[in-house]
Amino acid sequence: MTGDHRVPEGQLAQYALRVGDDALIAAQRLAEWSARAPEMEEDIALSNIALDQLGVARFLLSLAGGADGRSEDDLAYLRDDAEFRNCLLAEVPNGGPTAPPGASGDFGVTMVKLLLLGAYQLCLYERLVDSSEASLAEVAGKARKESRYHVDHAAQWTVRLGDGTATSQARVQQALDDLWPYTHELFEDDPLAVWAAEAGVGPLPSSLRAAWDAIVLPVLEEATLTVPPAGWHPTGGRDGRHTEHLSYLLAELQVLHRAHPGASW
């Protein structure tokens, strides 16, 4: 697979694309809860967080597409799964990594995932505000303030569920066990990330780990959850090698635009 590890042309666009794809796919997953959340307040909260993520994705995809004349819609609706650069964690279904297509969501999985992914995004945006690329820094300057609310929300629920009943504790511990392996990919220093760090565009992913730990680990401890032992490290999202779940997600995301090109309302 060494051929896949070359940094493609237009590194800056590729870099904006991976950060934007994380937000876009996270937004789509959260939006699946709309009208299906366990209570009305959560329905509104998850939809709001999805909207924040979508807003960030739109800015970043516009940036990424600007390099070769593609619009944010071109990038969101007309790429196939292997062209997406999001981390695998973002695409994990709301029912968990082993949920079959169409399975209903699990609120505990969603909250633990929002904690793990949201904390990563927060740590990344906190560093991207110092990016040598002004447009990235400006997006991050807004996004980090919103991310703090996402992480705070997820942390509150993780504690409430983890330090809750025996059933809720067991379920979020299972969610953590299932999701934890996907967090390792977030901190991999692949060639594009190394390029970004050397160019002052973005932080080295491995350098985010300490800040991420400082957010996530105290929450897990307060939630009486146990960090799983080191296990497998699924990876490949940054190179376009995704789980089968992304294809189903994209089918729903893209079907309208592909059936009715340029549709608007």
Partner 1 sequence: MALHEQRETAVTAWDAAASVVDPEIRVVTVAELGILRDVDTVDGRVVVTITPTYSGCPAMDVIRRDIGQALAAHGYPDAEVRTVLHPAWSTDMISEAGRQKLAAAGIAPPSPVGAGPVPLRLGVRCPRCGSPDTEELSRFGSTACKALWRCRACQEPFDRVKPL
Where do contacts with partner 1 occur on this chain (CB under 8 A)?
A: 41-42, 44-45, 48-56, 58-59, 134, 137-139, 141-143, 145-146, 148-149, 152-153
Measured from the CB of residue 39, what is the shortest distance to partner 1 in angstroms?
Answer: 9
For residues 129 and 204, which CB has a smaller minimum distance to partner 1 in the complex? 129
Measured from the CB of residue 153, what is the shortest distance to partner 1 in angstroms?
Answer: 5
CA distance 78 to 255: 10
For residues 88 and 114, which CB has a smaller minimum distance to partner 1 in the complex? 114
Measured from the CB of residue 182, what is the shortest distance to partner 1 in angstroms?
Answer: 24
CA distance 236 to 48: 29
Measured from the CB of residue 87, what is the shortest distance to partner 1 in angstroms?
Answer: 19
CA distance 202 to 237: 18
Report yes or no: 147 and 122 within 8 Å, Cβ to Cβ.
yes
Tokens at residue 134, please? 């002004």
For residues 42 and 221, which CB has a smaller minimum distance to partner 1 in the complex? 42
CA distance 191 to 195: 6
Tokens at residue 72, please? 């944010």
Report yes or no: 151 and 115 within 8 Å, Cβ to Cβ.
yes
Measured from the CB of residue 180, what is the shortest distance to partner 1 in angstroms?
Answer: 25
For residues 77 and 180, which CB has a smaller minimum distance to partner 1 in the complex? 77
For residues 1 and 210, which CB has a smaller minimum distance to partner 1 in the complex? 210
For residues 144 and 171, which CB has a smaller minimum distance to partner 1 in the complex? 144
Identify which of 120, 107, 131, 121 has the alpha carbon closest to the alpha carbon of residue 52: 121
Cβ–Cβ contacts within 10 Å for residue 81, how many?
A: 18
The size of the chain, in residues, is 265
Measured from the CB of residue 215, what is the shortest distance to partner 1 in angstroms?
Answer: 13
